[in-house]
Structure 1
Amino acid sequence: MYFDGAVNSVGSGVGAVLISSDGRHYPVAAKVDFSCTNNVAEYEACILCLQAAIDFKVKELEVFGDSMLTFFQTLGEWKTKDTKLVPYHEYLEELAKNFEKISFTYTPRAKNQFADALATLASMASISEGNIVKTLEIEVAKGPAHCNTIEASEAKPWYEDIKNFLQTGQYPLFADRRYRKTLRCLAMHYFLSGEILYCRSFDSTLLRCIDEHESL
């Protein structure tokens, strides 16, 4: 698991990302709504990291971060002299007892970009008290968006995938995750009556879908 804290002129925030053994990423972030130093932010981030892992019922955890102070104090190599950090250090030690195995490893900031981005986003976001902002789902675009457009000159009707999805609930054979999500969203605005496909307009009017040949 990676963590990071961010303090800037706009505000403060913390972020962490838990990576499972099969490569799945589970990001968490929080806006720190009180004045704090960089070191306090790093401790807040590390605590967020461990709390998230506990919520996920993780028993063995590898913790990575770019705060040398947090790690060396946690490992007992440096003494915690700052009175503001003593309670954090003690609480961190208590949280660590929830794991059967836990390790802390320093990593350069260049290898901690995901957690850093989460912390920076949380610090700059304006969030009203009581509101919870769900974590964004990040997809990888392997090509320009316009490559997904359907050309009228194609052999099959432009609406074939939508119609087939409404009829069978199945996706095209080679549809990737991104296209499947797009298809599900599109299908919500269409209605199938027998073999005829209609599109629901903004005023609920049903517009019949026609292909290139029918439009001539």
Structure 2
Amino acid sequence: MYFDGALNINGVGAGILFITPTKDKLRYVLRIHFLASNNAVEYEACLHGLHIAVELGVKRLMVYGDSTLVINQLNKDWSYSSEKMDSYCAEIRRFEGKFYGIEYHHVARDHNQIADQLSKIGSSRTAVLLGVFIQDLLVPSIKEENEVVEVPPTEQLVLVVPSPVADWREQFVKYLTSAKVPADKTETERLICQSKHYVLADGNLMRKSAKEGILQKCITQGEGVKLLLEIHSSSCSNHAALRNLVDKAF
């Protein structure tokens, strides 16, 4: 099994290649939809490769990767660099018991080109080649308490599913239908000012576009999250740039 991970401005991805004793090749692309470091992506690739190997009934496995840190940590030649890496290693150790034998070997990047190409397909969100299996990973394989994720200084699409909240449209509907305003004076002034941009059409709250005068249907926060998930994470996921993706949703 060969594995590799990749990060770029479009996203995060990983590639896995299996070569059977008869030289048949199985290729897998992982599209990762959460922020992760280079090392975490390599661990995700290795871990999911072991998942797949177990499902395929593999009992003896040679694992090859070009990440010096990951291979040396799995071979216990290096100590863990962080609690997260420790958690990944512990999760991988759980799967080792499902094999009669498993070994980890470091290879040069030149000898890991197929896995590298597969990982770049996953990170760039380009079309997947015929005969390649694909999987979307929405959450990390490990969990850490009080984990703080540092967002790199590049354009990122972070999709947060919020807890149920009150329907934000309700205050505008009440004001437009009955002129009902909040008790707080400041809130009343804000509502009156913002309401100039909204109208009711067949009972639906619509926002008027400032330039074209186009009416845009207003939806709940939950419906908005569902819409973004359908556009971004479905089986026919969107490959547009992140700003274009948001424009498409609007």
TM-score above 0.5: yes
1:44 lines up with 2:44 in the alignment: yes
Letter in 2 for 1:131: S
Aligned positions of 1:1-216 closer than 5 A: 1-125=1-125, 128-131=232-235
Q: CA deviation at 1:132?
A: 7.5
Given the superposition, is the C-alpha separation of residues 49 and 8 from structure 1 closer, same or farther in structure 2, using an over 3 Å criterion?
A: same
Q: CA deviation at 1:7?
A: 1.1
- Alignment partners' CA distance in 1, 2:118 and 2:81: 29
Q: Secondary structure at the match of 1:45?
A: helix
- Asked if the contact 1:62–1:103 (Cα under 8 Å) also holds between the matched residues in 2, the reply is yes
- Asked if the contact 1:28–1:52 (Cα under 8 Å) also holds between the matched residues in 2, the reply is no
Normalized against structure 2, the TM-score is what? 0.51
Q: CA deviation at 1:18?
A: 0.6
- Asked if the contact 1:15–1:48 (Cα under 8 Å) also holds between the matched residues in 2, the reply is no
Q: Which blocks of at least 5 consecutive residues in structure 2 are unaligned?
A: 127-135, 137-231, 238-250
CA RMSD, aligned part only?
A: 1.6
Q: 1:27-54 deviations in whole A, cap 9, x for unaligned?
A: 1111110111100010001112111111
Normalized against structure 1, the TM-score is what? 0.59
Q: CA deviation at 1:8?
A: 1.4
Q: Which blocks of at least 5 consecutive residues in structure 1 are unaligned?
A: 134-216
Identical aligned pairs, as a percentage? 32
- Alignment partners' CA distance in 2, 1:67 and 1:131: 30
Q: CA deviation at 1:81?
A: 2.9
